[in-house]
Protein backbone atom coordinates (compact mmCIF):
# COMPACT_ATOMS: atom_id res chain seq x y z
CA UNK A 1 0.00 0.00 0.00
CA UNK A 2 0.97 3.62 -0.35
CA UNK A 3 1.65 5.86 2.64
CA UNK A 4 3.04 9.38 3.07
CA UNK A 5 6.38 10.21 4.63
CA UNK A 6 6.94 13.76 5.91
CA UNK A 7 10.48 14.88 5.17
CA UNK A 8 12.06 17.38 7.60
CA UNK A 9 13.71 20.50 6.30
CA UNK A 10 17.35 19.31 6.57
CA UNK A 11 16.70 16.15 4.56
CA UNK A 12 14.79 17.72 1.66
CA UNK A 13 17.93 18.45 -0.39
CA UNK A 14 18.43 14.67 -0.53
CA UNK A 15 14.79 13.96 -1.33
CA UNK A 16 14.33 16.02 -4.45
CA UNK A 17 13.36 19.01 -2.28
CA UNK A 18 10.04 17.37 -1.59
CA UNK A 19 8.34 17.82 1.80
CA UNK A 20 6.18 14.72 1.36
CA UNK A 21 7.07 11.48 -0.39
CA UNK A 22 4.76 8.55 -1.05
CA UNK A 23 6.19 5.11 -0.47
CA UNK A 24 4.92 1.63 -1.03
CA UNK A 25 5.07 -0.54 2.09
CA UNK A 26 3.39 -2.95 4.47
CA UNK A 27 5.69 -2.08 7.39
CA UNK A 28 7.72 0.86 8.66
CA UNK A 29 10.90 -0.91 7.59
CA UNK A 30 9.61 -1.33 4.05
CA UNK A 31 8.54 2.30 4.00
CA UNK A 32 12.01 3.50 4.97
CA UNK A 33 13.62 1.11 2.51
CA UNK A 34 11.41 2.35 -0.30
CA UNK A 35 12.17 5.92 0.69
CA UNK A 36 15.92 5.24 0.49
CA UNK A 37 15.46 3.37 -2.78
CA UNK A 38 13.65 6.33 -4.32
CA UNK A 39 16.23 8.77 -2.96
CA UNK A 40 19.54 6.99 -2.36
CA UNK A 41 21.22 10.14 -1.09
CA UNK A 42 18.95 9.96 1.95
CA UNK A 43 20.37 6.66 3.08
CA UNK A 44 23.48 7.89 4.89
CA UNK A 45 21.50 10.65 6.55
CA UNK A 46 18.98 8.20 7.97
CA UNK A 47 21.05 5.12 8.67
CA UNK A 48 24.43 4.38 10.18
CA UNK A 49 26.78 1.90 8.54
CA UNK A 50 25.18 -1.00 10.36
CA UNK A 51 21.87 -0.20 8.71
CA UNK A 52 20.17 1.02 11.86
CA UNK A 53 18.53 4.41 12.21
CA UNK A 54 21.01 7.05 13.32
CA UNK A 55 20.60 7.77 17.03
CA UNK A 56 19.38 11.34 16.49
CA UNK A 57 16.81 10.39 13.86
CA UNK A 58 13.33 9.88 15.27
CA UNK A 59 10.66 8.17 13.21
CA UNK A 60 7.03 8.45 14.20
CA UNK A 61 4.11 6.49 12.85
CA UNK A 62 1.36 9.03 13.29
CA UNK A 63 1.87 10.02 16.94
CA UNK A 64 3.89 7.00 18.07
CA UNK A 65 7.68 6.66 18.14
CA UNK A 66 8.48 3.45 16.26
CA UNK A 67 11.12 2.65 18.89
CA UNK A 68 8.21 1.99 21.25
CA UNK A 69 6.20 0.03 18.72
CA UNK A 70 7.67 -2.83 16.74
CA UNK A 71 10.31 -0.63 15.08
CA UNK A 72 10.81 -1.71 11.47
CA UNK A 73 8.29 -4.53 11.85
CA UNK A 74 5.49 -2.11 12.74
CA UNK A 75 2.67 -2.60 10.24
CA UNK A 76 1.30 0.42 8.39
CA UNK A 77 -2.06 1.16 6.83
CA UNK A 78 -3.19 3.43 4.03
CA UNK A 79 -4.05 6.45 6.16
CA UNK A 80 -0.86 6.38 8.22
CA UNK A 81 1.69 9.18 8.12
CA UNK A 82 5.35 8.53 8.80
CA UNK A 83 7.23 11.55 10.19
CA UNK A 84 11.00 11.86 10.33
CA UNK A 85 12.28 14.37 12.90
CA UNK A 86 15.92 14.77 13.85
CA UNK A 87 16.35 15.50 17.52
CA UNK A 88 16.63 19.01 18.97
CA UNK A 89 18.71 19.54 22.08
CA UNK A 90 21.64 21.50 23.45
CA UNK A 91 22.70 23.64 26.33
CA UNK A 92 25.46 25.63 27.94
Partner 1 sequence: MALRIPRALYDQLRQHGEATYPHECCGVLVGEFDEAGGKVVKAAVQCGNTRTDSPQNRYHIAPSELVHIQREAMLAGQDIVGFYHSHPDHPARWSSTDLDEAHWTGCSYVITSVEKGRAVLTNSFLLLGEEDEKRLEDELYEVSAE
C-alpha closest to that of 58 among 80, 30, 89, 26: 89
**Number of residues counted as binding partner 1 (CB under 8 A):** 24
Q: Does 83 bind partner 1 (CB under 8 A)?
A: yes
Q: Does 78 bind partner 1 (CB under 8 A)?
A: no
d(CA 15, CA 28) in angstroms, rounded, equals 18
d(CA 71, CA 28) in angstroms, rounded, equals 7
| Contacting residue, 29, 43, 45, 80, with partner 1 by CB under 8 A | 45
In a 3-state reduction of DSSP, which class is residue 73?
Answer: helix
Q: Does 79 bind partner 1 (CB under 8 A)?
A: no
Q: Give the binding range for partner 1 (CB under 8 A) out of 12-20, 26-34, 72-80.
A: 12-20
Amino acid sequence: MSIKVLIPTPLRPYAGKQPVIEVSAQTVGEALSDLAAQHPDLRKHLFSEDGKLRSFVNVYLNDENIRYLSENATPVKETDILSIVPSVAGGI
